Amino acid sequence: MIIGIIGAPNKGKSTLFSSLTLNDVGIADYPFTTIDPNMGVAYVKVPCAEKLIGAKCNARSGSCSNGMRSIPINVIDVAGLVKDAHSGKGMGNKFLNDLAGADALVIVVDASGGTDQNGNPCEGCSPSEDIKMVLSELHAWLYDILKKHMNAMSKADDGTEALHNVLAGLKISREYIEEAAKECFLSTSRINWSDDDIMAFSKALLKRSKPVVIAANKMDKAGAKENLARLKAEYGEKYVVGCSAAIELALEKAAKAGVVSYDGGDSFTLAKEGITKEQKDALDYMSRFMKANGGSGVQRLLNTIVFDLLNLIVVYPVEDENKYTDHNGNVLPDAILMENGSTALDLARTIHTDIAKNMLYAIDALKKVRVAKDYKLKNNDIIKIVSSAKR
């Protein structure tokens, strides 16, 4: 899974990326700090199923601390986007192609309104205009791809298959294509679409294949609260998350230096005496912000994308349903993110194709009951796959 971070220049994209991944990248108050895409790993955090079984887990990927399971997610941060990027302005559409593999997108805006669409300082600029510009560029990018192949696709009897062949590199499924065409009342049999049809289809398809959450960044600055309220009213409470990537990054660096004790929650504690007055003042300021906002908002942003926007659940595969272990005796070694509605067979496919091919049934380890291959998985399920395939 890949989450793409996108936005106009100088909105805090690289700072957000660093706060999510702890990767050192170029961060500066001028446009186009990022040229090549940055790749890293972030972690969603959920209460671990170890609480359900009364035994400490042995996380094999990610980690588990104080009962909270950290599950890895890939994140990519691309160059800042300017108006008409799809036609070559600024960094051009190179950065758009860098997002081809993303499953969801985060549009980062300056909630304080302190930077314009080109990343230059200003007063009272509208974050909403940045969002509209970014979405417009994304729609135009997809439109251009489709327009380029429209003549060839119009000759295909199966238009859905033709569209899928063109769009497969963008992680766009046949299901998304069919749903988007239906929404726009477009036939995929011998495609003969107008330019308006192509644009309407592009918007509907992007909404499904690369859903968007808005990161209202720089919430620690003046004017941000008012803009956050406006953004939520315009784009929906579910799709806008206020955050301060700068405060999150500062706290993580302070924790790494042993100055504070902080694990990404909604508060931190001083871990070392003898800090300077400047450090104390900065920490007091960050503490007030965290208390007023329920944390920096960065972890909430990531969890919102994974569990609310993408509608994923966490499932724990095991080999011993009585001890909840793998063949090495590790308790709940893996926490796997699955689409809500996935089946036990889908889980088997994520483990190994041979196991899925030879699957007989599954066992709900918590209830100690056998379940069929088409059993619909639930969040925090602990599942043993029984297969005739050898491991």
Residue 341 lies in a domain: yes
CA distance 223 to 218: 10
* pLDDT per position as a tens digit, 104-132: 999 999 999 999 888 889 988 999 999 99
Using alpha carbons, list the distances in angstroms from residue 43 to 68, 212, 306, 337: 11, 19, 10, 12
* pLDDT per position as a tens digit, 220-244: 999 999 999 999 999 999 999 999 9
13's enclosing H/E stretch is helix 13-21
pLDDT at 26: 43
- Looking at the structure of the chain, the number of domains it has is 1
217's enclosing H/E stretch is strand 212-217
Instruction: List Cβ neighbours of 39 (8 Å cut-off, separation of 6 or more).
Output: 74, 75, 76
Residue 367: give its domain's CATH number.
3.10.20.30
Q: Is a pLDDT exceeding 60 seen at residue 100?
A: yes
Residue 331 lies in a domain: yes
* pLDDT per position as a tens digit, 20-56: 998 754 444 444 444 567 899 999 999 999 999 999 9
Strand partners, 359: 387
pLDDT at 93: 56
70's enclosing H/E stretch is strand 68-77
Q: Is a pLDDT exceeding 70 seen at residue 80?
A: yes
Q: Is a pLDDT exceeding 90 seen at residue 83?
A: no
Residue 44 lies in a domain: no
CA distance 381 to 314: 7
Residue 337 lies in a domain: yes
pLDDT at 87: 59
∠ CA(82), CA(104), CA(143), 5° rounding?
55
Residue 336 lies in a domain: yes
Of 142, 206, 152, 195, the residue nearest 161 (C-alpha): 152
Residue 325 lies in a domain: yes
Structural domain that includes position 352: 313-387
* pLDDT per position as a tens digit, 265-277: 888 999 888 888 9
Alpha helices in 170-276 (DSSP H): 174-183, 195-209, 224-235, 245-256
Residue 75 lies in a domain: no
CA distance 24 to 18: 6
* pLDDT per position as a tens digit, 320-378: 999 999 999 999 999 999 999 999 999 999 999 999 999 999 999 999 999 999 999 99
Residue 360 lies in a domain: yes
- How many residues in total does the chain contain? 391
pLDDT at 18: 93
